[in-house]
Amino acid sequence: MTRPAACGGRGYWQQRADVVVIGTGVAGLVAALAAHRSGRKVVVLSKAGNTATFYAQGGIAVVLPDALREDGDSVDAHVADTLAAGAGLCDPDAVRSIVADGYRAVRDLVDDGARFDEAVPGRWSLTREGGHSQRRIIHAGGDATGAEVQRALDGAAARLDIRRNHVALELLHDAGAVTGVLTLNEDGLGIVHAPSVILATGGLGHLYTATTNPEGSTGDGVALAMWAGLAVADLEFIQFHPTMLFDGRAGGRRPLITEAVRGEGAVLVDAQGNSVTAGVHPMGDLAPRDVVAGAVDARMVATGDPCVYLDARGIKGFRKRFPTVTAACEAAGIDPTRQPIPVVPGAHYSCGGVITDVDGRTELAGLFAAGEVARTGMHGANRLASNSLLEGLVVGGRAGKAAAAHALTAGPSMAQLPEPTTRRALPRAELQQAMTRYASVVRDGDGLRSLAQGLDAAMPRALNSRTDFEDVALTTAAGAVAAAASARHESRGCHHRSDFPETDPAQAVAAPLVSDARSLIPAVVCG
Ligand SMILES: Cc1cc2nc3c(=O)[nH]c(=O)nc-3n(C[C@H](O)[C@H](O)[C@H](O)COP(=O)(O)OP(=O)(O)OC[C@H]3O[C@@H](n4cnc5c(N)ncnc54)[C@H](O)[C@@H]3O)c2cc1C
């Protein structure tokens, strides 16, 4: 690393790579490994400790090859389930491309050291989750799948150049092509020059007061892409997981009670013991997440209770099958084998993001995105459970290869230090309260207008620290969610408008957004 080098009186460090990967979750590390194995010099940046990948519980949805299957599952069935959950907004070709490549990507992960639970030696144990018509979810450590995925990838990537505590602040580009990443570390500002950059920055759960996401999920990738002039889409579709542990704490990351608990027979009831989902959907407690989250939200409104309950007392061997859930419950003073678990819906997953193709390519030459930050068309208006690790594995690997190939043809790049920028931010607590009040499980036009007015009060903030940057990124991402939710005058997937409760067939199209330099609320791209 060269540092500091004078530039217009400002010192900054510099680094060179063929491919820069931003993020060390499933998408980032799979991409980095693929680029490295293609012979390119890779630098990986990560700002935070734990990733969302680490916390994933339920598993990875994957269709096994015929020879390894005993049931009637097929790529067609998995595609059909994904399209049904996506409520008319998935790109069917993208879904098929990713689902059909799933087993290969999982085998690569096994080659990198991941071990999944087996029903009998040599045969993976398969579970079922909401919206899946078949048992096709592989898992590890019972309900610690993400920890195993992360452990395996961290091990495989140990030989890579991984820079922790490095915050990507800005995507640098020139003449329609990416040239590097402006980065902040303990030495101050620096540039990693590279002709290929892969955004793998994960989600944006911390837009809300309470979320299942780790502290680093602050919408950075969406903001970075929008500041670079790229379009984002489907950001109105934020998935609220129906069963986040209600432990009485005010906010921040809260434990998830994986959907697989319902897959194994647990039922959602209110304080009177009445089913929460009876009569709501033919699949009952295993209906798609938006349906179950909406039912939980409606029951809490109707009863005035602060939570509903997940009764898992009938599941045999609960502690062994769900050690992570058991530990989280016990830490909150709840024994899930003897008492129903109090749960509420919590901000969990961003179905939308930076628009890419199924190889992670964005519209800016050399810029790729994969994982939760990307919008490939896989999830549409609602992600099917356990499809995100799958997408991260498949598209992460493809993006790594494509970025490596691009770097080879583009050759070395030279990025320029940009002029200092101030962007606008709301104080985080204020932003989270406004988002939780106006853009949660159920929204309406008046609330979204209030949200937009609140965002207008955001004040300029210099980017002197990770917190400054995250507040700015959150505020930009909130503007995009507000714009997307305001523009969609219907209810579809995980976007529920109380003033437009019906689904409107005429609106079965994605509405890309581009940022407007004058406003925090981006414009919808028409046509
Ligand atoms: C509790 C929980 C349970 C889940 N269970 C499942 C499940 O069972 N199955 C499933 O398929 N999905 C599950 N999901 C969703 C899934 O885990 C995530 O969507 C997926 O892991 C995201 O992977 P990713 O690589 O895109 O991002 P992440 O794993 O979140 O990684 C993001 C990385 O980007 C870095 N980063 C972010 N911004 C910056 C920046 N500005 N500069 C530098 N670095 C940055 C972070 O430090 C981190 O390293 C779950 C999610 C949660 C939270």
Helices H / strands E in the chain, number of each: 15, 30
Residues 6 or more apart whose CB falls under 8 angstroms from that of 236 comprise: 352, 481, 484, 485, 487, 488, 495
**CA dist 407 to 83, 172, 248, 395, Å?**
34, 15, 50, 18
Cβ of residue 48 lying under 6 Å from some atom of ligand 1: yes
Token pair 């500002």: residue: 189
Cβ of residue 23 lying under 6 Å from some atom of ligand 1: yes
pLDDT at 392: 98
| Residue 191 backbone zone (phi > 0: left; psi -120 to 50: alpha; other: beta) | beta
CA dist., res. 134 & res. 127, Å (int)? 8
Phi, psi for residue 513 in degrees, rounded to 5 = -120, 145
Cβ of residue 474 lying under 6 Å from some atom of ligand 1: no
User: Over its length of 527 residues, how does the chain's per-residue pLDDT go in tens digits?
Assistant: 444 433 444 689 999 999 999 999 999 999 999 999 999 999 999 998 889 999 998 899 999 998 787 778 999 999 999 999 999 999 999 999 999 999 999 999 999 999 999 999 999 999 988 889 999 999 999 989 999 999 999 999 999 999 999 999 999 999 999 999 999 999 999 999 999 999 999 999 999 998 999 999 999 999 999 999 999 999 999 999 999 999 877 678 999 998 889 989 999 999 999 999 999 999 899 887 888 998 998 999 899 998 999 999 999 999 999 999 999 999 999 999 999 999 999 999 999 999 999 999 999 999 999 999 999 999 999 999 999 999 999 999 999 999 999 999 999 999 999 988 789 999 999 999 999 999 999 999 999 999 999 999 999 998 889 999 999 999 999 999 999 999 999 999 999 999 999 999 999 998 898 887 667 878 777 54
pLDDT at 125: 94
Closest CA to 61 of 46, 42, 78, 83: 78
Cβ of residue 326 lying under 6 Å from some atom of ligand 1: no
DSSP state of 275: B
Atom 4, ligand 1: residue with shortest CA distance: 56
**CA dist 471 to 181, 225, 361, 425, 521, Å?**
19, 16, 27, 6, 16
Annotated active-site residue 289? The verdict is: yes
Positive or negative torsion for Cα 150, 469, 438, 371: negative
Cβ of residue 243 lying under 6 Å from some atom of ligand 1: no
Atom 33, ligand 1: residue with shortest CA distance: 23
Atom of ligand 1 nearest to the CA of 27: 25
CA dist., res. 367 & res. 375, Å (int)? 14
Token pair 């009445």: residue: 274
Phi, psi for residue 352 in degrees, rounded to 5 = -100, -175
Distance 502 CA to ligand 1 centre (A): 32
Catalytic residue among 96, 262, 289, 423: 289
Q: Are 436 and 183 in contact (CB under 8 A)?
A: no
| Ligand 1 site-directed mutation target among 30, 45, 53, 474, most atoms within 8 Å of CB | 53
pLDDT at 423: 92
* pTM flag (> 0.75): yes
DSSP string, 338-372: TSPEEEEEEEEEES-EEE--TT-B-SSBTEEE-GG
pLDDT at 8: 40
Residue 425 identity (one-letter amino acid): A
**Helix (H) or strand (E) run with residue 180 in it:** strand 177-185
**Helix (H) or strand (E) run with residue 156 in it:** helix 145-156
CA dist., res. 78 & res. 16, Å (int)? 42
Residue 436 identity (one-letter amino acid): T
Q: Which residues pair with 240 in a beta bridge?
A: 347
Cβ of residue 362 lying under 6 Å from some atom of ligand 1: no
| Ligand 1 site-directed mutation target among 15, 21, 24, most atoms within 8 Å of CB | 24
DSSP string, 6-24: EETTEEEEEEE-SEEEE--
Half-sphere exposure of 36 (CA within 13 A, CB side): 17
Residue 424 identity (one-letter amino acid): R
Atom 36, ligand 1: residue with shortest CA distance: 201
Residues 6 or more apart whose CB falls under 8 angstroms from that of 147 comprise: 54, 55, 140, 141, 324
CA dist., res. 226 & res. 483, Å (int)? 13
